[in-house]
């Protein structure tokens, strides 16, 4: 199969914009809880649909009073918090366009986004963000106004907007039609300057309603949009994934909460008790590794590993015709009492689903989480597709795949394996960048740059990035993602970059996880040491060699990692090697560590060899 489509469920009025979604819910259930805001004492204060809408209108009046015109571009630079949602909707209510900026962005990045994005005003969270904006403003003559959330921007705008008639906001809310611009989201940019993806009101409205009103047996609605659903957003709202979930949550019956600081995520999950969460594979990996490390050593560690194996085997048995055996079911119930209950409690106790995207989760983790009672619905999407374009459904999940197309979407596999997309949520253009638009949109299809395949039932499996395929000196094509994903599952491993283009064998650059190292050392009876010292520790190296051997079991001998080197430090956002969505900037790593890669293939002693039986 090379093409698969899912027909749309509903036809959306082309005159509708995102404001219509909010107004529809306001008319339907004004007193329903839309958002809960965490207070200083940790409790959550409910806010009804009407209370949220009143806030939106009051802030929108302030924006209008200060000169924001329909079509103006207003930036938002903040962590994920209530005010992010408030300003996003207030900007739309004023008829303007919102331009998200990651709160970790540098002065240079802010300059580029605000200049290319034609930003005339900005909302920032705190003084640190204000300093970044100030440093960029000398080259941004159009940026004339900045409001700071932590200096009472909301209250100030409400005061200044008191003289603006409500009728003016009512008028502006209805100005935009489906094809009008709603937001410009700049891609994280693993290479080069970020491109501004133009997403229209119609992209969000069509995707929201075709998801929310999906009445088929394959529906994902009970997870993210049904009455009683609750979700705590902690991923950046500057990213399209969390942004879309917020839009559909506020348009449906979901209760939305926000957690600005991931350091407080565990207690926030425990008090908010979400029914589903958004996740990226690296976060889910860390949860698993932290749980294993917390088990310590000896009998407790053996019990954890036994329970983890039971969860995986049980989940795999769920996909067979006979299902789990009676003996396996009894083991699973015992493991649930001993281990799984505490793991579910750590993510709020009420969470039964997670929606994962951004990278491949991997079959092992997918089965582990489903086996402990947390079904991870893996999906696929990009900024250019308004977030999700495929996802696994509740009743017909295939772990390891990214599921079936959303209603109104089509997936095609090109002759060279590239994944091509079209549908109700696929973007029209990059802002001020016709060349990039022409390269991405050809013949009516969005060329993603990812490669994969469709199985006989239309499920998509991602195998890697087209530009990242490695061709060894022997002519073997190797997709690095499979190896990287598996090796990152080791608790000591933070990041992996597989290398070997034009070389006689596959190698890997590995960084150590400084958060996991102390617990690993304790569990293995070793004295504390720095990450730099751990790079040369024989036990650390031996453990990583075994991890690479396990990783190699998933591939042929020609594709296996034969040698690796442990790099000093880690890849992070602050040193520029990770994007805000936690993707490794592979081209930059290969450029900066070119000498290390070359030495890996020299006759010297650089790197650690991996024995193979294959």
Task: List, for residues 276-292, the tens digit of each pLDDT value.
Answer: 998 877 778 777 877 88
Instruction: Look at residue 604 in the predicted model and tell me its pLDDT.
Output: 67
Region class of 89: left (phi > 0), else alpha (psi between -120 and 50), else beta = alpha
Q: DSSP string of 208-228?
A: HHHHHT--STT--HHHHTSTT
- Same domain, yes or no: 489 and 392: no
pLDDT along the chain (614 residues), means of 10: 91 96 97 96 96 98 98 98 98 98 90 96 97 94 96 98 98 98 84 86 96 64 79 94 95 95 88 90 77 82 92 92 93 94 87 82 86 91 94 85 93 95 97 95 94 94 81 78 86 92 91 90 90 94 94 84 93 85 84 90 81 68
Say how many domains are in the chain: 3
Instruction: Look at residue 215 in the predicted model and tell me its pLDDT.
Output: 56
- Same domain, yes or no: 284 and 432: yes
Q: Which two tokens stand for residue 582?
A: 């936690």
Mark which of 448, 466, 484 sits at the end of a domain.
466
Give the other-Cβ count within 10 Å of 555's Cβ: 17
pTM for the complete prediction? Answer: 0.83
Is position 153 within any domain?
yes
From 222, 232, 315, select the one nearest 279 (Cα to Cα).
232
Is position 13 within any domain?
no
pLDDT one-digit tens code per residue, 292-312 = 878 877 898 899 989 999 999
Strand pairing partners for 183? 98, 199
Mark which of 404, 431, 466 sits at the end of a domain.
466
Is position 324 within any domain?
yes
- Same domain, yes or no: 268 and 284: no
Q: By residue range, what is the domain housing residue 166?
A: 18-175+230-274
- Same domain, yes or no: 88 and 157: yes
Q: Can you give the CATH number for the domain in which 497 is found?
A: 3.30.300.30
- Same domain, yes or no: 254 and 368: no
- Same domain, yes or no: 449 and 557: no
- Same domain, yes or no: 430 and 551: no
Backbone angles phi, psi at 174, to 5 degrees: -100, 5
Strand pairing partners for 422? 410
Is position 201 within any domain?
no
Query: How far are the Cα atoms of 9, 391, 429 from residue 420, in angstroms, in the given order?
Result: 22, 16, 16
Is position 204 within any domain?
no
Q: Which two tokens stand for residue 524?
A: 């293995």
- Same domain, yes or no: 461 and 474: no
- Same domain, yes or no: 286 and 323: yes
Is position 200 within any domain?
no
Is position 327 within any domain?
yes
Contacts 24+ apart (CB under 8 A), 169-174: 169/57, 169/60, 169/61, 169/64, 169/93, 169/94, 172/60, 172/64, 172/70, 172/93, 172/94, 172/95, 173/17, 173/19, 173/23, 173/92, 173/93, 173/95, 174/17, 174/19, 174/20
Instruction: Look at residue 400 in the predicted model and tell me its pLDDT.
Output: 87
Burial of 299 (0-12, 13-18, 19+ CB in 10 A): exposed
Rounded CA gap, 451 and 463, in Å? 6
Mark which of 447, 466, 485 sits at the end of a domain.
466
Q: Which residues have C-beta within 8 Å of that of residue 81, sequence separation ≥ 6? A: 125, 149, 258, 260
Q: Which sign does the torsion angle of CA 514, 515, 520, 525 carry?
A: positive
On the CB side of 154, CA atoms within 13 Å amount to 18
Q: Which residues have C-beta within 8 Å of that of residue 2, sequence separation ≥ 6? A: 412, 413, 454
Instruction: Look at residue 286 in the predicted model and tell me its pLDDT.
Output: 75
- Same domain, yes or no: 123 and 171: yes
- Same domain, yes or no: 432 and 559: no
Instruction: Look at residue 470 in the predicted model and tell me its pLDDT.
Output: 85
Q: Can you give the CATH number for the domain in which 154 is found?
A: 3.40.50.12780
Q: Which two tokens stand for residue 64?
A: 């209008």
Q: Which two tokens stand for residue 51?
A: 């209370």
Query: How far are the Cα atoms of 254, 428, 477, 491, 607 from residue 560, in angstroms, in the given order?
Result: 45, 40, 12, 20, 15
Rounded CA gap, 353 and 487, in Å? 25
Is position 216 within any domain?
no
- Same domain, yes or no: 136 and 75: yes
């Amino acid at each position: 199969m090379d093409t698969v489509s899912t027909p749309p469920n509903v036809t959306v009025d082309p005159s509708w914009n995102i404001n219509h979604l909010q107004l529809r819910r306001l008319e339907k259930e004004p007193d329903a809880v839309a958002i809960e805001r965490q207070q200083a004492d940790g409790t959550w204060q409910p806010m009804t649909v009407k209370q949220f809408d009143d806030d939106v209108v009051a802030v929108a009046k302030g924006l209008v009073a200060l000169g924001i015109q329909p079509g103006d571009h207003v930036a938002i630079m903040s962590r994920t918090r209530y005010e992010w949602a408030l300003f996003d909707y207030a900007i739309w209510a004023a008829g303007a366009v919102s331009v998200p900026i990651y709160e970790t962005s540098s002065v240079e990045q802010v300059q580029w986004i605000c200049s290319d994005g034609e930003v005339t005003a900005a909302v920032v969270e705190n003084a640190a963000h204000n300093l970044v904006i100030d440093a960029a403003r000398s080259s941004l003559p159009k940026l004339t106004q900045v409001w700071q959330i932590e200096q009472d921007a909301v209250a100030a705008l409400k005061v200044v907007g008191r003289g603006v008639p409500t009728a003016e906001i009512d008028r502006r809310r209805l100005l935009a039609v489906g094809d009008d611009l709603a937001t410009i989201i700049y891609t994280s940019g693993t290479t080069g300057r970020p491109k501004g993806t133009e997403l229209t009101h119609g992209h969000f409205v069509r995707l929201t309603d075709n998801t929310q009103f999906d009445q088929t047996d394959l529906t994902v609605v009970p997870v993210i949009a049904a009455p009683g659903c609750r979700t705590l957003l902690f991923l950046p709202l500057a990213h399209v994934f969390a942004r879309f979930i917020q839009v559909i949550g506020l348009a449906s019956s979901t209760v939305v909460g926000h957690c600005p600081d991931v350091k407080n995520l565990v207690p926030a999950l425990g008090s908010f008790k979400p029914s589903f969460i958004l996740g990226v594979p690296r976060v889910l990996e860390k949860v698993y590794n932290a749980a294993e490390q917390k088990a310590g050593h000896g009998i407790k560690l053996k019990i954890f590993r036994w329970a983890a194996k039971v969860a995986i085997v049980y989940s795999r048995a769920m996909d067979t015709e006979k299902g789990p055996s009676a003996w396996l079911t009894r083991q699973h119930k015992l493991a649930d009492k001993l281990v799984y209950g505490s793991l579910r409690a750590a993510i709020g106790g009420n969470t039964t689903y997670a929606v994962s995207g951004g990278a491949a989760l991997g079959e092992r983790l997918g089965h582990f989480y489903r086996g402990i009672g947390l079904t991870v619905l893996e999906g696929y999407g990009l900024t250019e597709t308004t977030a999700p374009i495929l996802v696994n459904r509740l009743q017909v999940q295939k772990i390891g795949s990214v599921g079936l197309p959303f209603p109104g979407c089509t997936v095609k596999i090109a002759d060279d394996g590239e994944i091509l997309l079209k549908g109700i949520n696929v973007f029209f253009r990059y802002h001020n960048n016709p060349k990039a638009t022409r390269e991405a949109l050809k013949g009516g299809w969005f060329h993603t740059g990812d490669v994969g395949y469709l199985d006989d039932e239309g499920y998509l499996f991602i195998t890697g990035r087209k530009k990242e395929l490695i061709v060894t000196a022997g002519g073997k094509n190797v997709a690095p993602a499979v190896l990287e994903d598996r090796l990152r599952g080791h608790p000591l491993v933070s990041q992996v970059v597989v290398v070997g283009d034009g070389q006689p064998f596959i190698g890997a650059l590995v960084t150590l996880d400084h958060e996991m190292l102390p617990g690993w050392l304790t569990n293995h009876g070793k004295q504390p040491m720095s990450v730099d010292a751990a790079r040369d520790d024989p036990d650390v190296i031996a453990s990583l060699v075994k991890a690479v051997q396990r990783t190699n079991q998933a591939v042929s001998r020609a594709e296996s990692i034969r040698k690796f080197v442990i790099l000093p430090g880690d890849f992070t956002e602050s040193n520029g090697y990770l994007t805000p969505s936690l993707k490794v900037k592979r081209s930059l790593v290969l450029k900066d560590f070119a000498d290390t890669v070359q030495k890996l293939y020299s006759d010297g002693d650089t790197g650690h060899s991996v024995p193979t039986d294959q």
